[in-house]
């Protein structure tokens, strides 16, 4: 029985160590808006979609929640971050080796990110779009992470049940989204600690993880979910 059918990977902080670049961009946005970014606010925005991030920022700064102004700030933030991305994105430990192994074994792999498409495309120029059978971005679904929509869309594009798609995430926001979609979740914490859970397996990095490890993790997490008539354990 093969349980693992696909791997759904987050981007920022999971595949590439770009959260530090987002730190720089967020600090620049706060400077532009006349405020100072606190660690607490930055932590609240990690892994979030553009709408939620701007809502947090504007509330923190006491600015009127004007949709046009918030959208303009989001565009400025993404343009600024895009310039940082263009200078090169460093891989997270073991991420490229894992993508190479998945590609060599022809395991369907999707990129599932809250980052808007225009910025994700710039990142893919550095990461390599050839690794991915599908790409789902935060501005292409009704609601971004922590809603399950991005992961549900990725599974739909791959024509697979989310229960047999192992999600790889680094943040509480992303892990919550994947879990809500019904995916087993491999958690690789980066900027923030991530709570544990029955459908989550935590590692310190992706270094040394191979296909056999991913299969084993997926099987164990699938077995942790009670079987029912509408939720069989064996997808075959």
The partner residues of 182 in beta bridges, in order of sequence, read: none
Express the helix, strand and coil content of the chain in percent, nearest 5 each. Answer: 50, 10, 40
Sign of the four-CA dihedral 49, 115, 176, 144: positive
How many angstroms separate the CA atoms of 154 and 156, rounded?
5
Q: How distant is the alpha carbon of residue 35 from its chain centre?
A: 28
3-state secondary structure of 230: coil
Nearest Cα neighbor of 143 from 185, 176, 188, 94 is 176
Structure tokens at 142: 């009704």
Beta bridge partners, 165, equal 6
List the structure tokens of 170: 């680094």
Positions annotated as catalytic residues are 10
Who's near 17: CB < 8 A, 6+ residues apart?
89, 90, 91, 92, 190
Please give the radius of gyration of the chain, using alpha carbons only, rounded to the nearest integer: 18
């Amino acid at each position: 029985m093969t349980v693992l059918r696909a791997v759904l990977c987050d981007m920022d902080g999971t595949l590439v160590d770009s959260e530090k670049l987002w730190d720089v961009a967020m600090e620049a946005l706060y400077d532009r808006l006349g405020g100072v970014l606190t660690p607490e606010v930055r932590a609240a925005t990690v892994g979030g979609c553009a709408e939620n991030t701007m809502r947090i920022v504007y509330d923190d700064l006491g600015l009127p929640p004007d949709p046009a102004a918030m959208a303009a700030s989001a565009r400025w933030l993404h343009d600024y971050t895009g310039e940082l991305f263009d200078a090169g994105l460093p891989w997270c430990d073991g991420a490229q080796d894992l993508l190479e192994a998945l590609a060599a074994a022809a395991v369907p792999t999707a990129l599932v990110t809250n980052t808007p498409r225009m910025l994700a495309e710039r990142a893919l120029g550095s990461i390599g779009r050839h690794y991915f059978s599908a790409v789902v971005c935060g501005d292409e679904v009704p609601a971004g992470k922590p809603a399950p929509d991005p992961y549900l869309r990725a599974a739909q594009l791959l024509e697979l049940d989310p229960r047999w798609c192992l999600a790889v995430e680094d943040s509480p926001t992303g892990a919550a989204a994947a879990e809500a979609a019904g995916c087993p979740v491999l958690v690789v914490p980066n900027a923030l600690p991530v709570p544990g859970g029955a459908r989550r397996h935590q590692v310190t990095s992706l270094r040394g993880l191979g296909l056999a490890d991913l299969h084993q993790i997926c099987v164990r997490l699938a077995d942790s979910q009670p079987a029912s008539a509408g939720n069989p354990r064996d997808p075959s």
